[in-house]
Amino acid sequence: MQYSLGIDAGGTYTDAVLVRDTDGAIVDSNKSLTTYPDFHPGIKNAIDGLNQEYLKNVKLVSVSTTLSTNIILEGTGFPVGLILIGAHPFEKQLPTKHILFASGGHDQNGEEEAPLDLETIEKFVLRVKDKVSAFAVSSYFSTRNPEHEIIVKDRVLELTGLPAVCGHELSQELGAYERAVTAFLNAQLIPITRQFVKSVIKDTQERGINARLLMLKCDGSVVGIKDALKKPIETIFLALQQA
């Protein structure tokens, strides 16, 4: 008999549930207090309360968390460096104090409008790297040509080792402001998503559970863990729309 293990970390409680694969019946469940920023104790306590015999036959682990949504709504996320390339005509306030406007970008046909000022970008990255947990990069008309975003992302990784998110990876819409903010929010969520996933992996490995690991999106679909780590904002879209 095979089982699936579901783990959900909320702002107050972490829930664990065991489902029998043959008929989808819930065979056991448990609840514990969520522990943050170290999720592992809360996850461990939740799983400890489940039938340990069933756990030996778990072949799928599905995880979810509403903490990312809480962070967005409460504005308590990790600090992010935002690099904006090209002539962004922003009139709205941007969500971080670590911002750089750099020369570069493309036009609506994907042709380079100005050379990329990589030197200025490198100085900014080195100046703020100890003050942020990730970087977001958004270039003007990157939906037409993402070349400058990709160059900057690669350089950020080389200089800092911190995660970097490009606007074109998340949205193909032409709204420069919306794409920049989406990249920022995604970068802001990567650290907490990594912590959560690493805690799940640590606990399942310690228990000898050899199972496929998926992350639940708010629309009910699932995504592989590698994709979830790259684009954690996709797990909160529906919750934000409903809010």
Per-residue confidence (pLDDT) for residue 220, from 0 to 100: 65
Where residue 219 falls among pLDDT bands split at 50, 70, 90? low
- Residue 232 has a pLDDT of 63
- Mean pLDDT to the nearest integer, 55-75: 81
The confidence score (pLDDT) of residue 237 equals 43
pLDDT tens across 120-149, in order?
999 999 999 999 999 999 998 898 999 999
For strand 58-65 and strand 134-139, is the pairing parallel, antiparallel, or unpaired? unpaired
Report the C-alpha gap between 154 and 145 in whole angstroms. 16
Residues 149 and 183 sit within 8 Å (Cβ to Cβ) = no
In 10-78, which ranges are E strands?
Answer: 13-20, 26-33, 58-65
Average pLDDT over the chain, rounded to an integer:
85
pLDDT tier for residue 47 given thresholds of 50, 70 and 90: very high
Q: State how far the alpha carbon of 14 is from the alpha carbons of 31, 33, 58, 162, 220, in Å.
A: 6, 6, 19, 28, 19
Confidence of residue 236 (pLDDT cuts 50, 70, 90): low
Max Cα separation, the chain? 63
* Cα–Cα nearest to 86, from 169, 149, 178: 149
C-alpha distance from residue 179 to each of 88, 138, 141, 182 (Å): 11, 7, 10, 5
In sequence order, the 6+-apart residues with CB closer than 8 A to the CB of 51 are 18, 27, 28
pLDDT value of residue 23: 94
Confidence (pLDDT) at 231: 64
Type of residue found at 127:
R
Give how far Cα 73 sits from Cα of 98, 151, 183, Å.
Answer: 20, 31, 16
